[in-house]
Amino acid sequence: MSGSITVPGYSDSNRLPGVYFALDATKANTASVTRRILIVGQMLAAAPAAAGVATISAGPTDAIGKYGAGSHCARMVARYRGIDTTGEVWVLPLSDDAAAAAAAGSFAITGPASASGTLCLYVGDQLIATGVSAGDTASAIAANVVAAATATPSLPVSLAVDGTTNTKINVTALNKGLAGNDIQLGLNLLGTPGGQSLPGGMAVTITAMAGGTQNPTTLATALATMGDRVYDLVLHPYTDTASLDAFKQLFDNLTGRWSATQQLYGHAITAYRGTYGAATTFGLAQNDPHATIMPISDSPSSPMDWAAEIGAQAAISMRGNPATPITGLALTVMPPSDAGRFIADQRNSLLHDGLSTFTVDDSGTVMIERLITTYQTNAAGVPDNSYLDIETLLTAEICLQDMRIFLASQFAACILVADGTKIPAGVRATTAQLIGKACAARYRVQAANLWVQNPDIFAASVVATNAGSGLVTLLLPYNWANQLRCIAGDVQFIKS
């Protein structure tokens, strides 16, 4: 074949006359990495799914069938799908640890009822409504509560009448482990404005859930099975040190999914139940650029519900534009009590302690205020805000994936020659300098998408070096787009 243009698949030895066209997509590749979410949690012992094996989710009903009604996995899928109905979701189920214990609590009923009405008990934010008739004994009411609970779908606990007293209802978490301790038991959470009050003559004594021990020690092993599949966000219910360390190692910049050799990326999201003081202490002990944790105070909704819904809003925002501030987005979780809501000074402090914040509007709707990472200090122990906001990490993930796909498409199977070498048209050869210019060109595309800024500065500062042995090293001075957080104005008034 004469000339300098190479036609893929056409042989120079061909002597048959004709017109030969080859389809070459190297200049047309605009594909991006599939955006998907991974939910990690526990399944029930009798569930048919294979523990430690991630599979795609077909929705809440599918999750109940695979992992068991009321399990971590089934509940998180349902809460996620309540907000994000279209994103691709995978689930990595874990078995309860063999050494774990289940959390337990109780409702103790006092009677008889002197008036008819409705007993409104809560497990988390799920209402168990039980009809009460005047004259009903405490034991009869307890039995009716258990019957009503049986008809309440997907509770994370089992309820049974205590055989000794017949007036106490024992509540036991379906999944063993620490997460069961965070299940709130409640009474008349909506109060009289919501039409909830105890029927006359009755009393209910609540013993909070406690005694759950040992989260799955197989977590790190299960995470190692994720392979090369890319997950943008990993949502989970764990806040114990061992579990958080497993996620930290998973996403590590040097050896994990954010390393140059893996380039799989991802970010973990969970929630923490505790008072302001407990949350502050907990947050100061964290330091992971790839983890976001929301303290939820005394919200009746469980931390795993919060994690799933926060993750859903983050996923939707990321698919739209990763640089868009994830703020002012509504969740369907129940808000904390008035006394348990963090005031502005407390929320600002939490944002300096590695924890994210929410607000509650006048209607009682919970709104994401700001999502940050738990990263606070660098390797030298010096305060470092490089990875403060989750949007920085989400934007970095998309930009690096985009640049990698672009460079792989443009420079696959290329000869590498010294800078300044004249390359004939159509020959698959390049120089480090040309690769640097290609990076600058792609950066302009990313800037047009508003992921990054200042493309002229990038083009002037990018460094591409032929390091020998076929290696080109790049210094890419990325400048991510910022998020508008505050507008501060000095209101100077005059009196006339």
Q: Are the beta carbons of 383 and 352 closer than 8 angstroms?
A: no
**What is the pLDDT, as a whole number, of residue 25?**
60
In the block, residue with structure tokens 């200090």: 377
Report how far apart, in Å, the C-alpha atoms of 462 and of each of 176, 233, 441 are: 53, 30, 11
Number of Cα atoms under 13 Å in the Cβ half of residue 85? 1
- Stretches where the chain sits below pLDDT 50 are 1-3
Sign of CA dihedral 481, 485, 486, 487: positive
Residue appearing with tokens 């994690």: 307
Query: Per-residue b/e over 126-162, b at no fewer than 16 CB within 10 Å?
Result: bbbebebeeebebbbbbbbbbebbeeeebbbbbbebe
β-pair type (233-235, 267-272): parallel
Strand ranges in 211-275 using DSSP code E only, listed in sequence order: 233-235, 267-272
Query: What pLDDT shows up at residue 236?
Result: 98
Q: Which residue, chain included where needed, has tokens 């040992």?
A: 214
- CA geometry: angle 453, 454, 455, nearest 5 deg: 100
Q: How far apart are CA 305 and CA 83, in angstroms?
A: 12
Spatial separation of the C-alpha atoms in residues 94 and 65, rounded to whole Å: 15
Whole-structure pTM value: 0.93
Angle between the 390-411 and 432-448 helix axes, to the nearest 10 degrees? 130
State the Cα–Cα distance between residues 418 and 96, nearest whole angstrom. 58
Count of residues in the chain: 496
What is the per-residue pLDDT for 3?
A: 43
Question: What pLDDT, on the 0 to 100 scale, is given for residue 34?
Answer: 85
Give the C-alpha separation, 51 to 42, whole Å: 9
Sheet of 117-123, strands arranged across: 126-132, 117-123, 185-187
| Nearest alpha carbon to residue 275 among 211, 333, 340 | 340
89-142 confidence digits (pLDDT tens): 999 999 999 999 999 999 999 999 999 999 999 999 999 999 999 999 999 999
Domains of the chain: 36-97+215-392 (no CATH), 104-210 (3.90.1160.10), 413-490 (no CATH)
**Residue 198 and residue 188 in contact, taking contact as beta carbons nearer than 8 Å:** yes
Q: What are phi and psi of 6, to 5 degrees?
A: -100, 125
